[in-house]
Amino acid sequence: MPVLLSVRDLRIDIATPAGPLPVVDGVSFDVAEGEIMGLVGESGSGKTMIGRALLRLLPTRRARIAGGAMHFDGRDLARLDETAMTGVRGRDVTMIFQNPSSHLDPVMRVGDQVAETVMRRDGVGWRAARTRAGELFAEVGIAEPVRRLDAYPHELSGGMRQRVMIAAALACRPRLLVADEPTTALDVTVQKQILELLRTLRDRSGFAVILITHDLGVVAETCDSVGVLYAGRLVERGGCAGLLTRPLHPYTAGLVGSQPELAVPGRRLPAIPGQPPASDDLPPGCRFHPRCAHAEPTCTVGDIALETLPDGRAVACRRWPELAGAEVGA
């Protein structure tokens, strides 16, 4: 599939009294048309910042895109002016959030909120837009869609509200949907339905999805490819199945190992010691080296680039060939 989005050396700074702090630093990845790419990382890894940067929805007074490019359909989203960006946002690129309640107007009927988007996107009248909103509700699996158009957000469950958000996103007929932790606030049974819905809609409409999550299980169930972020850098990238079953970066391996569902009950979990560094106190060299069981003096100096392997996997670790080889020899 042709590349839809190409992010190169993206850098995002946050302004602090002590000067700008890079919270995303030199991140590069491609998303093909119709691909679901997962961006995984722990709190503060920069995953949400990247998602917001793609729509240029960073909190402007504090954070800014300090470098790099985000090529989408021949245009660099990092350099578009605000007017041009308005033509992209809510049209070609759109976003859904973790907490639908705080992104829906509490005093407006949900059908009207979706119809509003339809009117703006398709330039149709109110009546047609309401009809289309009803169709969209049906498409996202809302039971009794036409009756639900008149509901207010508080009358719907969390899962239903997320479906409304997805309906509004679909109304934009996007080519890229950025989904920021869309199921984190939901129960597992509802989460499963929403993830299935995203995949079904992708299959039907062919848009690409960037799924931002902290949950490797969600990635395994939903994504085609995945990028792993640590302290603002991409440490590993590749196809979902290969990356999760055969991680090359020690951090990815540590994340997979920390999943309690994979461990032998009663045994200690192979936890990663320590905690991620603060963005004003980043270690030199590989940012993971203070927590890494395989760190050597060479890991503590210089810039460690993301190295792309012949099979398309990319990893940012000086020692990966050795570490991988050790296992093969064992």
Q: Which residues lie below 8 Å from residue 29, measured CB to CB, with a gap of 6+?
A: 7, 37, 227, 234, 237
Distances (CA, A) of 319 to 60, 238, 243, 285, 326: 39, 18, 17, 13, 11
Stretch binding other proteins (CB under 8 A), from 6-14, 97-105, 171-179, 259-267: 259-267
309 binds other proteins (CB under 8 A): no
Binding mask 43-82 for other proteins (x = CB under 8 A): x---------------------------------------
39 binds other proteins (CB under 8 A): no
- Amino acid present at 193: Q
129 binds other proteins (CB under 8 A): no
254 binds other proteins (CB under 8 A): yes
Exposed/middle/buried for 131, CB within 10 Å: 0-12, 13-18, 19+? Answer: middle
Tell me the closest approach of the beta carbon of residue 178 to other proteins, in angstroms. Answer: 20
Tell me the closest approach of the beta carbon of residue 241 to other proteins, in angstroms. Answer: 6
Q: Is 237 helix (H, G, I), strand (E, B) or coil?
A: strand
Chain center to CA of 106: 26
Stretch binding other proteins (CB under 8 A), from 21-29, 131-139, 171-179, 238-246: 238-246
Chain positions 151 to 210 lying near other proteins, rule: CB under 8 A, are: 187-189, 191-192, 195
Chain positions 199 to 218 lying near other proteins, rule: CB under 8 A, are: 214-218
323 binds other proteins (CB under 8 A): yes
Phi, psi of 188 (to 5 degrees): -60, -40
117 binds other proteins (CB under 8 A): no
Distances (CA, A) of 100 to 78, 131, 169, 251, 254: 27, 23, 12, 31, 31
Tell me the closest approach of the beta carbon of residue 80 to other proteins, in angstroms. Answer: 34
**How is 166-220 classified by DSSP, letter by letter?**
HHHHHHT--SEEEEESTTTTS-HHHHHHHHHHHHHHHHHH--EEEEEES-HHHHH
Q: Tell me the C-alpha distance between 182 and 306, whole Å.
A: 28
Question: For residues 81 and 281, which CB has a smaller minimum distance to other proteins in the complex?
Answer: 281
Chain positions 268 to 297 lying near other proteins, rule: CB under 8 A, are: 268-273, 275-276, 293-294
Chain center to CA of 44: 13
Q: Which chain residues interact with other proteins by CB under 8 A?
A: 42-43, 187-189, 191-192, 195, 214-218, 220-222, 241, 244-250, 252-273, 275-276, 293-294, 320, 323-324, 327-328
